[in-house]
Structure 1
């Protein structure tokens, strides 16, 4: 398994920038002038444009790229090899996430290590094996399975499920592709009970049929709000092929089967997702799709990122109006 190659294209380092003859004094002058953003002592990058000026569809990738600059800056200033872990490893592997990237870098150390967390570096001292790490440039990064296991153990249910949904899905590249058993095996051999029950619950809940980050977050919302869980990607044949419904709840004596759709705006507004199709054609095709599914006798509801990110005030009443039952005690 090969980790992605570190991207140092935006890194400016005083001691290694001999070609540009960048002294500490010149580096400091460029920082004061606003031409360079300092990331670590003696390490920076060209001052990035404000995120507000970045195309909104490119902002998630740009945020990750900026965080990876911070990880690379830490790598450039370490005198000995380190293992990048946690959310830093998730960024390196480009695992799906819905959270903002942190302002610190996470590294993994053996239990007996004397290294301590300080100055923007969080150290996790815990047992790991050779199979848990992969070379990354001059350093190491936790394997995808170990990375997800660590996210799950940290108690971040959302981060762990979203990342594992991605790794289990058809969206995953060869380096990320894994099974639930791969993550469970890592959890079982770490030799610690800390966070183990919560981690196993996250692994059990993950489902590779979730076809996007928005669908993963929505399914977590539905669970944490206490609603009955729907089936995912239910296939509905039609004369020209088939339609896959993101979510489908079975009917009851008081309610027809109900289809739920997470509707991100990217498939309508970002031409890269439309594959050259005119936005009007996309909207018409989606209208025909909804009419067909309703014509089968299904109820139909849609929601987007705003509802998924604010499930209690926005998604909950929408599901209640559609007749979806609450079957367990809500967690949020």
Structure 2
């Protein structure tokens, strides 16, 4: 009895170290033997570890700190390490390529299966019987190409989430809206969901700086309140030699204008947006920018992602700022750019 307990304790210590080692690689630990799986699952009850995907384990304290996109990548990396021949597609591949995939789409892992001898989807693993145009490798993970992953995600997503991916692709490739529309027709012309992908491509704009901004804009479009411009440049009232850029601008029929600002967490933890600055520095800079925006003598409607995702909330907040379908001037942001990201 004592000797068996010692062996189990030693084995647990070994497994714990391997879990920690895999965490350093940004992935879950993939247990292989049934004995190890049983031993690890015993520790789930104690709150030490979690099993976010069958036979994949990670320390609970680490898992709690990860955002949904990072959690998904931890699972994908572990599966790729366990099965190097696995090819990921749809939302999983789009995320691996660095596109902004909505958290709502990350409840399943998407991979390819052989169309001639398909393997059924099971649980959190969704298998797709498609023949990709190309397969590439990103950080050791086999995925369908960036462009095909984007379209594959767009055809199976709601409009708002498809628009986020479409905007992200324009930013990543520095291509125009017209080129994206051509790509969608070439890769998804007859696929189920192509209507949503076409609509997302028609409204896409790489000037949006985050997936959250894209989703907010989609809510505005659905409500008949599309912004007149995205990230427009104004002379800073305090420092005229600088530019200040709100997220959205709405031109009204009476000749006035209102601004829209998404208070998103991306501004504080996205490396591309923080540019090496600390959270404190980014917060201070953002507060300064907001104070300067208020001096432009235009109403500034600020909203969070919670407001965006709560039905009717964003429309209400914009209406308080004077923005409604009946007050908006004709035209929308597509007249101010071809969709290419702002330089």
Length-normalised TM-score, structure 1: 0.74
Matched-pair contact (CA < 8 Å) for 1:145–1:178: no
The structure-2 alpha-carbon separation of the partners of 1:268 and 1:112, relative to structure 1 and needing over 3 Å to count, comes to closer
The structure-2 alpha-carbon separation of the partners of 1:164 and 1:189, relative to structure 1 and needing over 3 Å to count, comes to closer
The residue correspondences of 1:259-278 to structure 2 (distance < 5 A) are: 259-264=259-264, 267=267, 277=281
Aligned position for 1:251: 252
Matched-pair contact (CA < 8 Å) for 1:263–1:303: yes
Q: CA RMSD in A?
A: 3.5
Separation in 1, partners of 2:139, 2:269 = 37
Matched-pair contact (CA < 8 Å) for 1:227–1:324: yes
Aligned position for 1:12: 29
Separation in 1, partners of 2:86, 2:190 = 22
Instruction: Quote how far apart the aligned CAs of 1:302 are.
Output: 1.8
The residue correspondences of 1:161-176 to structure 2 (distance < 5 A) are: 161-169=163-171, 172=172
Instruction: Quote how far apart the aligned CAs of 1:281 are.
Output: 6.5
Aligned position for 2:93: 89
Aligned position for 2:204: 206
Aligned position for 1:222: 220
Matched-pair contact (CA < 8 Å) for 1:250–1:257: yes
Residue-by-residue CA offset, 1:233-280 (whole Å, 9 max, x unaligned): 111124232211221122323x61222222236657999766653856
Tell me whether 1:46 sits opposite 2:61 in the alignment.
no
Aligned position for 1:124: 128
Instruction: Quote how far apart the aligned CAs of 1:90 are.
Output: 2.3
Aligned position for 1:318: 317
Separation in 2, partners of 1:83, 1:189 = 18
The structure-2 alpha-carbon separation of the partners of 1:184 and 1:123, relative to structure 1 and needing over 3 Å to count, comes to farther
Matched-pair contact (CA < 8 Å) for 1:145–1:182: no
**SS in structure 1 at match of 2:281:** coil
Aligned position for 1:299: 299
Structure 1 runs (4+) deviating above 6 angstroms are 268-272
Matched-pair contact (CA < 8 Å) for 1:127–1:190: no
Instruction: Quote how far apart the aligned CAs of 1:12 are.
Output: 3.0
The structure-2 alpha-carbon separation of the partners of 1:274 and 1:225, relative to structure 1 and needing over 3 Å to count, comes to farther
The structure-2 alpha-carbon separation of the partners of 1:302 and 1:183, relative to structure 1 and needing over 3 Å to count, comes to same
Instruction: Quote how far apart the aligned CAs of 1:30 are.
Output: 2.8
The structure-2 alpha-carbon separation of the partners of 1:48 and 1:216, relative to structure 1 and needing over 3 Å to count, comes to same
Aligned position for 2:186: 188
Aligned length: 294
Residue-by-residue CA offset, 1:169-192 (whole Å, 9 max, x unaligned): 3xx4xxx65554256325424562
Length-normalised TM-score, structure 2: 0.72
Query: Where in structure 1 are there 5+ consecutive unaligned residues?
Result: 1-6, 16-22
**SS in structure 1 at match of 2:60:** coil
Tell me whether 1:28 sits opposite 2:26 in the alignment.
no
Query: Where in structure 2 are there 5+ consecutive unaligned residues?
Result: 1-23, 329-343
Separation in 2, partners of 1:115, 1:99 = 26
Separation in 1, partners of 2:286, 2:293 = 11
The structure-2 alpha-carbon separation of the partners of 1:83 and 1:321, relative to structure 1 and needing over 3 Å to count, comes to same
**SS in structure 2 at match of 1:204:** helix
Matched-pair contact (CA < 8 Å) for 1:145–1:183: no
The structure-2 alpha-carbon separation of the partners of 1:118 and 1:164, relative to structure 1 and needing over 3 Å to count, comes to same
Residue-by-residue CA offset, 1:111-153 (whole Å, 9 max, x unaligned): 43422222432122234323xx213577621122111101221
